[in-house]
Each structure stands twice: as structure tokens, then as C-alpha cells.
Amino acid sequence: MCVHYWVIDSSNQGICKKCGKGESFSPPPIKLTKAERAKIKVNTNEYYMQGILRLDRMAEECKIR
């Protein structure tokens, strides 16, 4: 049983330095800056609020009918 020591290339393919086993790896997660995270949060909040407003309008329309 090998305790693998992976060498991973730019195409996310890894080869164990000790036993030669090959494996495919997932790409690392994207790291966002604080400004990018804030922008995503603002956009999400805007969409959330738009959804609430749409639901409120739909509820009012149902009461009117």
C-alpha cells in the first residue's frame, strides 16, 4: 500500500512519485477578492429582493381577482 506523493500537472493529471499510479484531480476553487465577493453578495441581494417584490405583486393581484 502506497502513501501517495502526487505530482499534479497543469491539466490536473497526477502521477504518484513513489508508485507511478495516475489519477485525475479537480481544478482548485477560484479565489475571489473581497471586492468580487461583495459584488456577488450585492447582486444576490438584489435578485432576492426582486423575487420578494414579484411575489408581493402576485399576492396583491390574487386578492384583487
Residue 53 in grid coordinates: 417584490
pLDDT, tens digit (0-9, with 9 covering 90-100), for 43-57: 555 555 556 556 666
SS3 18: coil
Provide the H-helix boundaries in 1-65. 34-64
Q: Is the pLDDT of residue 61 over 80?
A: no
CA–CA dist 50, 40 (Å, integer): 15
Q: How many Å separate Cα 3 from the centre of its chain?
A: 30
Go through the chain and tell me how many residues it has: 65
Does the pTM surpass 0.95? The reply is no
SS3 5: coil
Instruction: Domain ranges for the chain, please list them.
Output: 32-65
